[in-house]
Amino acid sequence: MRGLTTKILSSVRELFGAESQEKLSGAEILGLLEKQYQANRLITSTAVAGLVIFLTIAALFPFKDDLFSILYQKPSSEATTTINLVVNGNFEAGNLIPWQGGDQIALTKSPVHSGFFALQTSGAAASQKIAVTPGKTYSMTAYTTQGSSLYVLDSSSQIITTSKWQEESEQNNWTKVSFDFTAPSNNITLLIGSQETTIIFDDLQLFEKN
Ligand SMILES: [Ca+2]
């Protein structure tokens, strides 16, 4: 990317007839662009502003190679879409909508993995139905006080999640649960909780993978 910076700066010098020099300062570039703009109206003021910002950063930024690598970073094939398909999966709505589960599920303020609220299930399960695309792969993550108590059901209420199941112990007794699965139908149901014990959940996320 250093080569790109040099090329752009040398193009600017050629375009505006700047004298040969090692480096143009941001102020010099600005002056040249303004001069060109006023003289010929070849480029719009918006383009000038954008170009000035870009070139100023490029010319002056001490870590410009790092900057360019950030600007031009492409998402990896493992990247997922950014929409969490679980509604109110962190329970920060301050209510249980749209979770189903009756009187034996409730918000709790302690412990929480994030924010102010988590979900406590006491001898019951909470559930949420989510629309998905059949054949697509989805990535599920959640934090629980007992990891093996999270299931994904298909539209016939059959458990479909066993692939790539991982549990990682976290601090304060939180366990991260993560796994991928392929949607078999146009909706799935998240089922969390246990009939035997009290379990707390927080930060449930479901992403469609690319
Ligand atoms: Ca939370």
Cα 19 to averaged position of ligand 1 atoms, centre (Å): 59
pTM of the model: 0.61
Q: How far apart are the CA of 83 and the centre of ligand 1, in A?
A: 17
Distance 93 CA to ligand 1 centre (A): 9
CA 164 to ligand 1 center in whole angstroms: 25
CB within 8 Å of 181: residues ≥ 6 apart? 137, 138, 140, 152, 160, 161, 163
Higher local confidence (pLDDT), 82 or 40: 82
Q: How far apart are CA 59 and CA 8, in angstroms?
A: 10
Distance 144 CA to ligand 1 centre (A): 11
Please tell me the predicted confidence (pLDDT) of residue 176: 92
**Per-residue pLDDT at 75:** 46
Q: What is the pLDDT averaged over residues 56-85?
A: 59
What is the per-residue pLDDT across 168-189, written as a single tens digit (0 to 9) for each?
Answer: 887 778 999 999 999 999 999 9
53 alpha carbon – ligand 1 mean position (Å): 39
Burial 124-141 (b: 16+ CB within 10 A, else e): ebbbbebebeeeeebbbb
pLDDT tens digits, residue range 81-137?
A: 589 999 999 999 999 999 999 888 999 999 999 999 999 999 999 999 999 999 999
Task: Tell me the CA–centroid distance for residue 84 and ligand 1, in Å.
Answer: 14
Residues making up the chain, counted from first to last:
210
Work out the average pLDDT over 33-54.
Answer: 62
Report whether 139 contacts 194 (CB < 8 A): no
